[in-house]
């Protein structure tokens, strides 16, 4: 009997914790009449997308660099796009490509870059529509619900700064602690050319 009471208590606590997590994530999602029209309860709202992008832009300004930011929903449609003055087409396009890579893989675009650096085929990644550069991160609520992706492009990387760090800082400021960034895997140095005297 006590075992059943204990299990019931654990189930009740788990249910309350799940409801609390869902309620916590609600602030980032479309709710009310808009959600009814879309028939979807897991769409990132534009206010959150804008806050994330603008937090990233503020970080870029502190670093004295310019970025482009693309925030896409879970279907790959743009929610919010921002480019700082002076951004080239390349910076804008790579922001979209990085976000789309994250959308395709449900992982940071750094995972694709690392796979290529370890010897994976860059052509194969391109054929899947993936872009092998860091700067795209998933946007997740309630622990495991993918609701979109952010891609940042256009800033020169240097120690302690790159597009991926910009995206991570923007997400952290708006949505709280994010998973740690993946380490950067560098391609192995090419072997010296043969043909020397033996």
CATH for 114: 3.30.450.150
Residue 11 forms part of a structural domain: no
pLDDT classification of 1: cutoffs 50, 70, 90? low
Residue 186 forms part of a structural domain: no
Rounded CA-CA distance 47/29 in Å is 9
Residue 130 forms part of a structural domain: yes
Q: What is the pLDDT of residues 75-131, one digit of tens each?
A: 999 999 999 999 999 999 999 999 999 999 999 999 999 999 888 777 677 767 899
What is residue 9's predicted lDDT score, i.e. its pLDDT?
43
What does the block give as tokens for 135? 């700067």
Q: What is the pLDDT of residues 32-67, one digit of tens each?
A: 787 677 667 788 999 999 999 999 999 999 999 999
Q: What is the pLDDT of residues 140-170, one digit of tens each?
A: 998 889 999 999 999 999 999 999 999 999 9
Please state the domain count of the chain: 1
Residue 48 forms part of a structural domain: yes
pLDDT classification of 20: cutoffs 50, 70, 90? very low
Cβ proximity of 155 and 87 under 8 Å:
no
Rounded CA-CA distance 166/169 in Å is 5
Residue 107 forms part of a structural domain: yes
Kindly write down the DSSP assignment for every residue of 111-175, as one continuous string.
HHHHHHHTT--HHHHHHTT---SS-EEEEEETTTEEEEEEEEE-PPPBTTB-HHHHHHHHHHHHH
Domain span at residue 149 reads 38-175
């Amino acid at each position: 009997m006590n075992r059943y009471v204990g299990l019931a208590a654990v189930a009740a606590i788990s249910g309350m914790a799940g409801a609390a997590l869902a309620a916590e994530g609600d602030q980032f999602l479309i709710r009310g009449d808009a959600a009814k029209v879309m028939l979807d309860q897991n769409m990132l709202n534009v206010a959150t997308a804008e806050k994330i992008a603008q937090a990233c832009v503020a970080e870029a300004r502190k670093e004295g660099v310019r970025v482009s930011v693309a925030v896409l929903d879970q279907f790959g449609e743009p929610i919010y796009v921002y480019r700082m003055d002076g951004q080239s087409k390349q910076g804008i396009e790579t922001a979209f490509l990085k976000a789309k890579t994250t959308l395709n893989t449900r992982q940071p675009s750094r995972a694709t870059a690392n796979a290529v650096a370890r010897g994976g085929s860059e052509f194969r990644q391109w054929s899947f529509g993936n872009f092998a550069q860091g700067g795209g991160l998933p946007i997740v609520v309630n622990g495991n619900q993918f609701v979109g992706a952010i891609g940042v492009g256009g800033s020169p990387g240097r120690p302690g700064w790159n597009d991926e760090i910009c995206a991570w800082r923007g997400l952290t400021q708006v949505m709280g602690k994010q998973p740690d960034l993946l380490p950067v895997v560098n391609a192995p140095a090419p072997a010296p050319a043969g043909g020397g005297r033996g």
